[in-house]
Structure 1
Amino acid sequence: MNTSSTRPRPGTARRGAAAAAALVVGALALTACSGDSGVVPADDDPATSAEADGPVEIRFSWWGSDTRHQLTQEVIDLFEEKHPDITVVPDYTDWGGYWDKLATSVAAGDAPDVMTQEERYLADYASRGVLADLSELDVDTSAIDENVLASGKTDGGLYGVPTGVNVYAMLADPQIFAEAGVEMPDDTTWTWEEYVDLAGQVSAGTPDGVYGVQDYGFNEPGFAIFARQRGETLYTEDGKLGFSQETLADFFQVSLDLQANGGEPDAARSVEIDAAGPEGSLLGTNSGAMGVWWTNQLGAISTAAGRDLQLLRFPGESEHERTGMYFKPAMYYSVSKTSEHPEAAATFVDFLLNDPEAGALILSDRGLPANTDVRAEVADLLPPVEQQAADFLADLEDEIVDGPPVPPVGAGDVVEIIRRINTEVLFGNMTPDDAAAQFMTEVEAAIG
């Protein structure tokens, strides 16, 4: 699933924001975690010292919409102004074509110097020797939360540095709750049983076609939180399954309980809604009170809904001995192990992470900045809906226990596996227990 934001941000507005940010982030430019704005003196710059034989050219690959492509080119232009001896060649496509293109480039021995990675594929590329260990390059990660940074570590090295962070959370529509005559939940204490009951009450108190909640079972992050609340985990550190069949069966059972009390649509409608994406979701079409989404999708869904939505913690966070929610990197920056200019590539990654002016351009396009100093400095530049997400993440900092291990090689197949099996459960073709057993068998085969 592509968790990245795609809401349009005109380039001219970005340049204006960057100009305004110059005053806001001026202090950080002198005192950032790397000692300055990410630009080191020419005599100390690893790129210029190591590449003393002349200008160098590196390639940067990423996925996204036309809006992201335009924005990223502005960031590249800023970098090249500050590092005139390094030229960055853009290499981009949409999410659907990105991984095929990257695999082809790697197979041909032409990997991009700097590439964008996603958590499901990071271990795969690291294990095949494609990625450089960033801990051996000059990339300052001191202002990134250790739990977040650890999500890019696998096989004993740091093979991806988080661009920014998201949280999988409950989104709610206060207006539909009010129309149903149902109080909004206290998300610091609500349980899974209360979640099911509230959804049923909302459906009962609203017109036909409006529901309490959209089904949550089509994506594995929801189950990862459910399992973590019980002290289990989707994957273990050594790449195995870390949960019980009973826990996964209970996860599937919640959807059946919601079907039974009318809290969510029937199976056919649920499958249709899942395929419609954020804008076509129940929340996005004013047809539902709750749904689970990444925090950086709040803007797109709120825009589609035409009303303010509210972020809530998952139910069950106070129900057991530990919480389950976690900070997920929206994506990662990685450097090719075969890059002819690793120092220049590292300089570019360091700039993307730590330069306040770059942060003022990027804002939350690749998740809220992983560098917490930059995140704080650009907070006032964020639109209100993204400020809500930033505040929500800040509220969770003392509650999140840890981050999940890097998904093992083969985890990319899980996206299709859970979607297919959840569909079978919703249509009544499999019991929750049988579905859990089938899921475990298929995922074990996929991850070897």
Structure 2
Amino acid sequence: MRRTWPTRLGVAGGVLGLLLTTACGGGDGGGGGQAAEEGTTRDDGPVTMRMSWWGSDTRHAATQQLIDLYQSQNEGVTIEGDFTGFADYFDRLATSTAGGEAPCVQQQDTRYVREYADRNALLDLTPYIEDGTIDTSNLDEAVADTGKVEDATYAIPTGVNAFSTVIDPAVYAQAGVPVPDDASWTWEEMVDTAAQVTQATGGQAWGMQAMGLNGGDTNFEIYAREHGEALFDEDGQIGFTAETLADWWTIEKQASESGAEPPPSTTVEVFNGGVDQALVATARGASGFWWTNELPALTAGAGRELQLMRFPTEEGDGQTGMYLKPAMFWAISSDCESPQEAALLVNWLINSEEAVNIVKADRGLPVNTELRDQIAPQLDPAGQAAVAFVEEITPDLQDPPALPPQGAGEVQAIMQRYTEQILFDQVSVEDAAEQFMTEVQSAIA
């Protein structure tokens, strides 16, 4: 299991606090405000910056193309790529941040923006937005301010997406099992159908990938929102009951015991393989749970058309807990020695037609709505399917949840750990739910 920054704090002791106080001006709240005011321009000489991101092989290749193009257009600018899978990304970022060597430009996630901002590890981008270095005028209003903490902007969204069910119609056809109607299917129907697929294929293909591992906290969040609850409420407190979590984990346990999911050992192995080893990406499964922007990578792995579907609901009434969210963010480290150049790069990444033509919808449907409209017809079939799906479901979605509290980055790892223990019969769903809530409360306290 990966360790998030708070865990790294235990390893690094008090060094991180000292480093951030020295590098970021301590408690001035600016996170590098002096550098933002004075600026660093290309006239100062050659600039070398590190840029970090997580993702699939497809994203790595596209991002390297972005770097190569930007360097070719900006003489004297060198960008060093630093990438890994999501499972290791924030462990690695925490370590480099604790050592005062955070990448200048870094891909960020909703779970961590407040965490890093509150620790003065991110640059306040407000001065760069106000002076036009970062142009936010064409950003999707639904997510444009999602990187703000109080009155400061610490991150700019790359795009929008939705967490969804991804299916492989060919596996359903192979099993002779009809694809469920996602406008009316229930959680029970999802598990039953998945078990039928496994049985009909003699185990050559599994019906579904585990809910509680890949994106498990978001998967549960959708379930909780269907029940009028939330992962975290508007005040940053736990917004769900242990009973609701136990009910959701019971569905997971039933999926495992019925053969809808692979055996626990295989489930963990598949999860550790990331998007490239997903069941639907390797023709080993009928369904899984992924973000809409991951459909092109999944499709590339599968070598055939995959399909996006809504999450099931308790009553089969289509009253979903799904929502649109910032796919991810671009942020700048408060330690960055070239903040002006980093801001120019971020602006180019979100507002350049050339950049969008390269990355397409891999980091979500482009946050720049003008470029989104331009790029949609040029996307590959998987990208166009993601656009169509998001447009179709948007009217039925709930509002995005509040920005999670500091410490929320630990929740996914806690969820994964307890899911594994449940699958391996090491803890009951009821005890896991109570212990999970206790750990999450401690993480955000």
TM-score range, shorter chain: 0.7 to 0.9
**SS in structure 1 opposite 2:51?**
strand
Q: What's the TM-score once normalised by structure 1's chain length?
A: 0.79
8 Å CA contact 2:294–2:362 kept in 1: the answer is no
1:387 and 2:384 correspond: yes
1:168 and 2:168 correspond: no
Structure 1 residue 58: deviation in Å? Answer: 6.1
Written as runs of structure 1 = structure 2, the 5 A alignment for 1:45-444 is 51=41, 57=47, 59-64=49-54, 68=59, 71-76=62-67, 78-79=69-70, 87-95=77-85, 99=90, 102-103=93-94, 106-107=97-98, 109=100, 111-138=102-129, 139-218=134-213, 219-316=216-313, 319=316, 322-337=319-334, 339=336, 342-444=339-441
Distance 1:83 1:423 in 2: 48
Q: What's the TM-score once normalised by structure 2's chain length?
A: 0.79
Which stretch of the first structure deviates more once superposed, 61-70 or 361-370? 61-70
Work out the percentage of aligned pairs sharing the same amino acid. Answer: 42
Structure 1 residue 421: deviation in Å? Answer: 0.8
Structure 1 residue 363: deviation in Å? Answer: 1.6
Structure 1 residue 60: deviation in Å? Answer: 4.4
Structure 1 residue 250: deviation in Å? Answer: 0.9
Distance 2:414 2:37 in 1: 44
Go from structure 1 to structure 2 and tell me whether the alpha carbon gap of 1:137 and 1:384 turns closer, same or farther (over 3 Å shift). same
Task: Count residues in correspondence.
Answer: 404
Structure 1: 4+ residue segments shifted above 6 A = 46-50
**SS in structure 2 opposite 1:234?**
coil
What residue is the counterpart of 1:40 in the other structure? none
Distance 2:413 2:332 in 1: 28
Structure 1 residue 336: deviation in Å? Answer: 3.6
Counterpart amino acid of 1:57? V
Structure 1 residue 223: deviation in Å? Answer: 0.7
Counterpart amino acid of 1:351? W
5+ residue gaps, structure 1, are 3-45
**SS in structure 2 opposite 1:286?**
coil
Q: Cα RMSD between the aligned structures? A: 3.3
Deviations 1:355-397 (A, max 9, x none): 2122112223433322222122112332212221222122222
Counterpart amino acid of 1:382? L
Distance 1:353 1:222 in 2: 28
Distance 1:378 1:223 in 2: 32
Which stretch of the first structure deviates more once superposed, 316-325 or 406-415? 316-325
Which stretch of the first structure deviates more once superposed, 257-266 or 187-196? 257-266
Go from structure 1 to structure 2 and tell me whether the alpha carbon gap of 1:134 and 1:100 turns closer, same or farther (over 3 Å shift). same
8 Å CA contact 2:183–2:317 kept in 1: the answer is no
What residue is the counterpart of 1:38 in the other structure? none
Distance 2:274 2:90 in 1: 20
Go from structure 1 to structure 2 and tell me whether the alpha carbon gap of 1:98 and 1:264 turns closer, same or farther (over 3 Å shift). closer
**SS in structure 2 opposite 1:283?**
helix
Distance 2:111 2:280 in 1: 27
